[in-house]
Chains A and B, each alone.
Chain A
Amino acid sequence: MNTEKSVIEIRGLTKHYGGVKALTEANFCLAPGEHAAIVGDNGAGKSTFVRLITGVESPNSGEIFLDGKSVTFDSPLDARDQGVETVYQTLALAEDLDVPANIFLGREKVLFNLGPLSILDHKAMRSESVQMLSTTGVKIQDMSETLRGMSGGQRQCVAIARAAGFAKKLIILDEPTAALGIQETARVEEIIKGLKQRGVPLIIISHNLRQVFDLVDRIWVFRQGRIVASVLKTQTSPEQIVGLITGAVNPDDVPGATDLITDIALFQ
C-alpha cells in the first residue's frame, strides 16, 4: 500500500495498559472516499484503536499518517484541528442548546474576538448550520428548538452532520446506532450512505453485521488486541466475518485477507 494514496494509514500502533495488551502492532489504512467498518468481539481493542487515532490517548508505539504525512495528536481537539472528526457514543451535544449552537459548539463564529467575551455571529452560524444539515440530508423542522425535544435519532443526525460539516479528512463513528430503534437506525444509515456518495471517508465501529454489509466497502477484523484481517465486502460473507471474529476461521485461509496488513508492516 502506498501511503500517499491513503487518507489515513496506521503502522504498528500499540497500546498496553500494564500487562493488558489492548492493542498490538495494528496496521490499518483507508483509501480516499472509502467507508470502512471495524468489527470484533468485546474487548478486541476497537475502542482503544479509536482512542489512539483521535488523540484521546497516546500510543506506546506506532505511527499515524494523514495524507502521507506523519502526525501525532496531543488531544482530541488537536485531532479535530487536523481534520479527523469523531462522533463519540456519548455524542458531546448540549441538550439545552439549539441546533446551530450545537453544530458550532467549541468553534463558534464570532463578530469580535474578545476572548471569553467574544461576540457570537448568530446569523452566520445559523445559515451555515442550515447548509450543513441539508448537505448531509438531515431534516430539522425548527432550528431554534433545543435538542432536549428531539429523538435520539435526530440528535445522532445532528452530531453526524456536525462532524461531516467540519471533517477535512475523515469521520469516525463509534457505534452510531447502538441506542436507536429500527426507524431511527434506518435514518442514520441513509445519512451515512449520503456521505459515501459525497466521497467523505468514514470509519464506523459496529457490532451489527447487517449494517456493516449494507454500508461499507471494507471490513477490518479485530481479535484479541490485533487487527487480523481486512477484506472487501464484495469478497466475503457475514458467516466468514463471524468466523474471523471468533477465531473459527484462520485469516491465512481467506484469500487476500492479510495482504494490506502485511504490506503496511513492510514499511516499518
Chain B
Amino acid sequence: MKTLTRQEWYGALVAVLVLGIFLSIASPYFLNSRNLSNILVQASVIALLAGGQTFVILTGGVDLAVGSLTALAGAMAGYMMIKLGIDPYMAILAAFAIGAGVGLFNGYLVAFVGIPSFIVTLGGLTLWRGLAYDSTGGFDMSGLPDPFPFIGYGELFGFLPMPIVVMAVFYITMSFVLSSTKLGRYVYAIGSNEMGARQVGINVRWYKLGVYVVSGLCCALAALVLIGRMDSSSGKIAQMFELDAIAAVILGGTSLFGGRGSIIGSLLGAILITMIRNGMNLLEISQFKQMMAIGAVVIIAVWIDVVRRKRLLRK
C-alpha cells in the first residue's frame, strides 16, 4: 500500500481539514451536525457527477456536457411524470436510458471517430441543454410523485439523508470498480499509455466508449437526486455543474492528463468545493466574489497538477 502522504487525494484531505478548522473558528454556525450534514447533502449531486467524470478524466478525456445531460435527464423524467402521467419508475428508467444513450453517442464520437472529447462534449453542452428546454417546452414542473420526495428528503434509519446514502453507496461501488475490475484497471492503463494498452491487446476503443457511458449514467443518477431535492424539474437545472464536477475531480488530485488519480479524491474534491461555497455563505461573501473564488481555486488546482506532472516526467 502507498503511504497516506503519497496518495493522490492526500492534498484534498488536508485542504478539507484545514478549511474545516478555519471555518469552525471563523463562523459559529459551521461546526454543528446540521450544517455538516447539509454540506454533504449539497455536495451529493456534484459528487455523483464527479464520480463519472473521474473515469473520463483518468482515460485522458473530459466530459463538459455533464451539467446539460443532467438537465436533459431530469427535465425529461419530470416531463414524463407530470405532463404525461407516466409511472415514476418508468421515468427513472427513461432517465438512465437517456444518460446511457448520450454516453454512447459521446463515446462513439470520441473512441471510434476520433474527435477530441473536449469538442464532442463542448458541442453537447449546448446541444443537450437546448434539447432539454425544447422537448419540455421550457416549463417548470413541480410536485413530483413518489419516490422522489423520499430520494430528496427521506432519511434512512431516521437520521441519514437519502442523498448522502446514495452518494455513499455510489462511491463504495465506484471505488471497487476502479480498483478491482478490468474496467478500472484499463481506465488507468489507457490514460497512462494508450498505445501500449493497445499493444497488450486491450480493446481501447470499447473501454473508452465505456467511460462516457458511465459518465452518462452518473448524470442520470445525479438528475434524479437533484429533482428530488428541488421537488421540481425543468430544462434550466444543473447550470454550470460541469465546472464544479471537473473542479472536484482535479481538486481531488486526479490528473487532467489521465492515468493518475482516485475516486476518493473526487469525493473529497466535491466536499471541498461545497465547503468553500458554504463557508463563504456563512461569512456573507457575495455571490460574485464566490464565483471568482471558485474559478481561482480551479486554476490553482490545475496549476498544481501541471507542476506535479512536469516533476514526474523529469524523473
**Interface membership of B181, Cβ < 8 A:** yes
**A residues 95-135 with Cβ under 8 Å of B?**
95-97, 101, 105-108, 110, 114-120, 122
Decide: A105 near B202, CB < 8 A? Known: A92-B193, A149-B315: yes
Cα A117 to Cα B260 in complex, Å, equals 20
| Chain B residues whose CB sits within 8 angstroms of the CB of A105 once the complex forms | 185, 189, 196-197, 200, 202
Q: A117 with B189: in contact, given A92-B200, A95-B259 (CB under 8 Å)?
A: no
Q: Of B183, B188, B207, which one neighbours A96 at CB under 8 angstroms?
A: B188
Inter-chain CA distance A139–B200, complex, in Å, is 23
- Contact status A96-B260, CB under 8 Å: yes
User: Is A144 interfacial (CB 8 A cutoff)?
Assistant: yes
A118 touching B195, Cβ below 8 Å = no
B291 located at the interface, meaning its Cβ lies under 8 Å from any Cβ of chain A in the complex: no
**Chain A residues with a Cβ closer than 8 Å to the other chain, count:** 30
Q: Which residues of B contact A90 (CB under 8 A)?
A: 195-196, 199
* Given A95-B259, A101-B185, also A77-B201 (CB < 8 A): yes
Q: Is A94 within 8 A of B188, CB to CB?
A: yes
B interface, size bucket: 20 to 34
Are A116 and B1 in contact, CB atoms less than 8 angstroms apart?
A: no
Total CB contacts across the A-B interface at under 8 A: 82
In the bound complex, CA of A118 to CA of B195 (Å) = 23
B312 interface hit (Cβ, 8 Å): yes
Residues of chain A within 8 A of B188, CB atoms compared = 94, 96-97, 101
Contact B189 A110 (CB under 8 A): no
Q: Of residues 72 to 100 in A, which have CB atoms within 8 Å of B's CB atoms?
A: 75-77, 80, 88, 90-97
Known: A88-B199, A117-B177, A120-B182. A95 touches B1 (CB 8 A): no
| B192 partner, pick from A76, A96, A114, A122, beta carbons under 8 A | A96
Chain A contact residues: helix, strand, loop or mixed: loop
Residue on A nearest B210 in the bound complex, by CB: A116
Q: Identify which of residues 202-228 in chain A touch chain B, using a CB-to-CB cut-off of 8 Å.
A: none
Cβ of B312: which chain A residues have Cβ within 8 Å of it?
148
Asked if B228 is at the interface of the complex by the 8 Å CB criterion, the answer is no
**Chain A residue at minimal CB-CB distance from B1:** A144
Q: Which chain A positions have C-beta within 8 A of B34?
A: none
B191 interface residue per 8 A CB criterion: yes
Query: Does B310 reach chain A (CB closer than 8 Å)?
Result: no
**A96-B191 in contact given A76-B201, A91-B196 (Cβ < 8 Å):** yes
B2 located at the interface, meaning its Cβ lies under 8 Å from any Cβ of chain A in the complex: yes
Alpha-carbon separation in the docked complex, A33 to B221 (Å):
58
**Contact between chains at B182 and A94 (CB < 8 Å):** no
* Chain B hits for A117, CB < 8 A: 177, 181-183
Residues of B with C-beta under 8 A to A91: 196
Q: Is B180 an interface residue (CB 8 A)?
A: yes
Centre residue among B1, B189, B202, B260 by max chain A CB count within 10 A: B189
Q: Which of B150-194 contact A (CB under 8 A)?
A: 177, 180-183, 185-186, 188-189, 191-193
**Contact: B177 with A94, CB < 8 Å?**
no
Q: Closest chain A residue to B2 by CB distance? A: A144
Q: Write the B249-280 contact mask toward A (1 if CB under 8 angstroms, else 0).
A: 00000000001100000000000000000000
Which residues of the partner chain A approach B181 to less than 8 Å between Cβ atoms? 114, 116-120
CB distance from A223 to the nearest CB of B (A): 29
**In the complex, A144→B199 CA distance in Å?**
23
A116 to B107, CA, bound (A): 16
On whether the beta carbons of A116 and B207 are closer than 8 Å, the reply is yes
Residues of A within 8 Å of B210, CB to CB, are: 116
In the assembled complex, the CB of A66 is this many whole angstroms from the nearest CB of chain B, namely 19
B201:A120 contact, CB within 8 angstroms: no
Residues of B within 8 A of A120 (CB): 180-182, 185
User: In whole angstroms, what is the CA distance A80 to B186 when docked?
Assistant: 19
CB contact list, A226-257 vs B, under 8 A: none
Q: Give B contacts to A, CB under 8 Å.
A: 1-2, 177, 180-183, 185-186, 188-189, 191-193, 195-197, 199-202, 206-207, 210, 259-260, 312, 315
Beyond known contacts A90-B196, A106-B201: 9 more, CB 8 A cutoff: A76-B199, A94-B196, A96-B259, A106-B200, A116-B186, A117-B177, A117-B183, A144-B2, A148-B312
Using a CB–CB distance below 8 Å, which chain A residues touch chain B? 75-77, 80, 88, 90-97, 101, 105-108, 110, 114-120, 122, 144, 148-149
Ranked 7 nearest A-B pairs via Cβ:
A106-B200, A94-B192, A92-B196, A96-B259, A92-B199, A77-B201, A96-B192
List 22 A-B pairs, Cβ < 8 Å. A76-B199, A76-B201, A77-B201, A88-B199, A92-B195, A92-B196, A92-B200, A93-B193, A94-B189, A94-B196, A95-B192, A95-B259, A101-B188, A101-B189, A105-B196, A106-B197, A106-B201, A115-B182, A118-B182, A120-B180, A148-B312, A149-B315
